[in-house]
Chain A
Amino acid sequence: MKKIKIKKKPQPNIDMTPMVDTFCVVLTFLMLTAQMRQPEPIEVNTPFSISETPTPDFNTMSFLLSDDGVFMNFDNGPDTLLRYRPKILVEMGNLYGIEFTEEQQREFEKYPSSIGVPMQNMVQFLNTPDAALRKELQVGIPIDSADNQLSMWILCARQVNPNIQAAIRGDATTHFSTVEKILDVLQTRNVNRFSLVTNLESATINLDEIPE
């Protein structure tokens, strides 16, 4: 080989391949494990507790609680074929004399976050593709004694899925009267055991200072 004169300094060349490989792996991992955080109709900061029981994935009806109203959500059951969500909607429709089309049921089934729409507006809510209008219709489920739709939702949910468990996801600043109302509604429907959704914190106890 002849000598080649190097006139220009060659640019330093960094081999990106290992980096790309690592990125690929991380990306694939994240994509496969991702559970998208669904935007809820209201922002809720749950209180803290030392409980370490994880939130169950299935058979839960969760109530989103804040001073702005009550919203609720069900899961579709441990098997996608069970399709609990549309069934609950149909049951509710029967009670309120509303018939939901196949398309509206599907729309309800795939709605990703909690719903707080009074039954009177449910058809309008499911028909519109407009997210802004939908947000406007999310006013919270009526819970006053004259028109206690939350109680009906609980009834229907338990009829469709007898194994369903109640979980309350409340904002820490929610006024206690709202909480009391929910507890009251749950208890009149004979739901006495429920879970409160919290964030994990640590707590220390100091037994040394306490006299025997």
Chain B
Amino acid sequence: MAQVGGGGEEKGKGKGKRKVKAPPFIDMTPMVDLMCLLITFFMLTTAFTKSKVMEIVLPEKLQNEEEQTGPRIAASRTVNVILGPEDKVYMYPGRVEDFNNLPPLMETDYSSEGIRRQLLERNATLARRINDLEQEVLTGRLQISRDSLASSISRLKSDDDTGPIVLIKAYKDANYGNFVDILDEMNICGIARYTFMKIAWYEEQMVEIAAGISSTASPN
């Protein structure tokens, strides 16, 4: 019997009277200790925050690379963004016409005052429209589902015909983080049209001039 306290006092009370039994007392402390341990273990090993993914679609690769020409787009809307070494970004508008007289590059960085500002300035109309739409949904003036918000935004983007067309290129010393950063900036700034393409030899030269690296590119 799980008696606590012993029956020492019972003798004096006579046979008829029963002592009120104390409820059996179990020491829970070791169990609590063990559970604490297990909870800590599970909490530390569980991956609570699931990582997210960012979708990207690249233009189809042609079998014959010589046939590949630059995209036929208006030079006035084109913005070339080159991912440079040491977390720098270089930009130049339009297209290079004269290879002997390369245009200067504009140097900036991945901060919100750097490349984001530059892109937003060029994409102000569309960015404002998207922002207004998102604000209306956030404040509850416009009640639509998440999916239809996404489709409205993509409709705004496909209707847009004034924003920049961004061509992203990577110099060989850039890293994967830069690549993701710039794609992320495209989403943040609501750029409707952008693509990633191989860097041209003259663009490599331009980066090398701007960053002060001795030239390694050959015109081929």
Q: Is the CB of A135 closer than 8 A to any CB of chain B?
A: no
Q: Is the CB of B127 closer than 8 A to any CB of chain A?
A: yes
Chain B residues near A46 (CB, 8 Å)?
51
| Residue pair A177, B172 in contact (C-beta under 8 Å) | yes
Chain B's closest residue to A176 (CB) is B174
Interface size on B, residues (CB 8 A): 56
Chain A's closest residue to B46 (CB) is A34
Q: Is the CB of A192 closer than 8 A to any CB of chain B?
A: yes
| Residue pair B175, A55 in contact (C-beta under 8 Å) | no
With A16-B32, A205-B131 in contact, do A51 and B172 touch (Cβ < 8 Å)? no
| Distance of A29 Cα from B38 Cα, bound (Å) | 12
Chain A residues near B31 (CB, 8 Å)?
16, 20
Q: Which single member of B43, B128, B170, B188 contacts A30 (CB below 8 Å)?
A: B43
| Residue pair B51, A49 in contact (C-beta under 8 Å) | no
Chain B residues near A51 (CB, 8 Å)?
52-55, 184, 187
* B-contact bits for A197-212, CB 8 A (1 contact / 0 none): 1111001111100111
Chain A residues near B131 (CB, 8 Å)?
205, 207
| Residue pair B54, A195 in contact (C-beta under 8 Å) | yes
Q: Which single member of A2, A35, A183 contacts B46 (CB below 8 Å)?
A: A35
| Residue pair A27, B35 in contact (C-beta under 8 Å) | yes
Q: Which of B57-65, B88-96, B200-208, B211-219 contacts A (4 or more CB under 8 A)?
A: B57-65
Interface size on A, as a range, is 35 or more
Q: Is the CB of A180 closer than 8 A to any CB of chain B?
A: yes
Q: Is the CB of A65 closer than 8 A to any CB of chain B?
A: yes
| Residue pair B38, A27 in contact (C-beta under 8 Å) | yes
Query: How many Å from the CB of B4 to the closest CB on chain A?
Result: 11
| Residue pair A56, B53 in contact (C-beta under 8 Å) | yes
Chain A's closest residue to B12 (CB) is A2
Query: How many Å from the CB of B173 to the closest CB on chain A?
Result: 7
Query: How many Å from the CB of A113 to the closest CB on chain B?
Result: 13
Q: State the main secondary structure of chain B at its contact with A.
A: helix
Q: Which single member of B9, B171, B179 contacts A4 (CB below 8 Å)?
A: B9
Query: How many Å from the CB of A43 to the closest CB on chain B?
Result: 14
Chain B residues near A175 (CB, 8 Å)?
173, 175-176
Chain A residues near B171 (CB, 8 Å)?
176
| Residue pair A47, B39 in contact (C-beta under 8 Å) | no
| Residue pair B55, A193 in contact (C-beta under 8 Å) | yes
* A-contact bits for B108-134, CB 8 A (1 contact / 0 none): 000010001100110010011001000
Q: Which single member of A23, A27, A192, A211 contacts B58 (CB below 8 Å)?
A: A192
Chain A's closest residue to B63 (CB) is A188
Chain A's closest residue to B113 (CB) is A206
Chain A's closest residue to B41 (CB) is A30
Chain B's closest residue to A35 (CB) is B47
Q: Is the CB of B28 closer than 8 A to any CB of chain A?
A: yes
With A16-B29, A27-B35, A55-B53 in contact, do A205 and B188 touch (Cβ < 8 Å)? yes
Per CB-CB distance, the 3 closest pairs between chain A and chain B, nearest first, are A172-B177, A16-B28, A195-B53
Q: List 14 A-B contacts (CB under 8 A).
A: A4-B9, A16-B31, A27-B42, A30-B42, A47-B181, A49-B187, A53-B54, A174-B177, A192-B58, A193-B56, A193-B57, A203-B188, A205-B188, A210-B124
Q: A36-B46, A53-B54, A176-B173 are in contact. List 14 more A-B contacts (CB 8 A).
A: A17-B28, A23-B39, A35-B46, A52-B52, A178-B176, A192-B58, A193-B57, A193-B58, A196-B183, A203-B188, A205-B188, A206-B120, A210-B121, A210-B124
Residues of B in contact with A (beta carbons under 8 Å apart): 9, 13, 25, 28-29, 31-32, 35-36, 38-39, 42-43, 45-47, 49-61, 83, 112, 116-117, 120-121, 124, 127-128, 131, 170-181, 183-184, 187-189
